[in-house]
Amino acid sequence: MQQEGMVSLWAGHADSASDLEAYLKIAYTEDGEVILSPFARDFRIEYYDEDFIEAKYYDKSLQSVSGLLHGFSYDNVITPQFTQLLGDPLPLPVNAVVLLYHFKYAGEAGLPASGPVTLQFMGVVSMESSR
């Protein structure tokens, strides 16, 4: 669900950068109708603004929240919050991360069973500094 100032995080495994890209790709019919991405279908997300998504594939798996989120928008604000929420290190190594900005996911679906990309919803934090 769209919510200003919030960011939702998914992390998991992707076989390749191109697999992650394909997993997130939104397509359109000839009539301009939206064809949801596999990501949106897996997590039952009806809509998200494509301008507010960032994703990254890592060649090597990571378990550090700070390593995983380094270089993303608002990383200096969201990294400490996700570290507090999830702990550091993460319970399992991951090589793929997806962030949806201005989005508060309600956690309505679980981990897809199989495929070239398997992500797990990790949580939601505020993008705004508490100062």
In Å, how far are 27, 35, 41 from 30, measured between CA atoms?
Answer: 10, 11, 20
Beta bridge partners of 68: none
Q: Is the pLDDT of residue 16 over 90?
A: yes
Find, among 1, 3, 13, the residue nearest to 108 by Cα.
1
Q: What is the domain partition of the chain in residue ranges?
A: 2-126
Nearest to 117 by CA among 22, 53, 27, 41: 22
3-state helix, strand, coil in the chain (%, to 5): 25, 35, 40
Per-residue model confidence as pLDDT tens digits over 37-55:
999 998 989 888 889 999 9
58-117 per-position pLDDT tens digit: 999 999 999 999 999 999 999 999 999 999 999 889 999 999 999 999 876 655 556 899
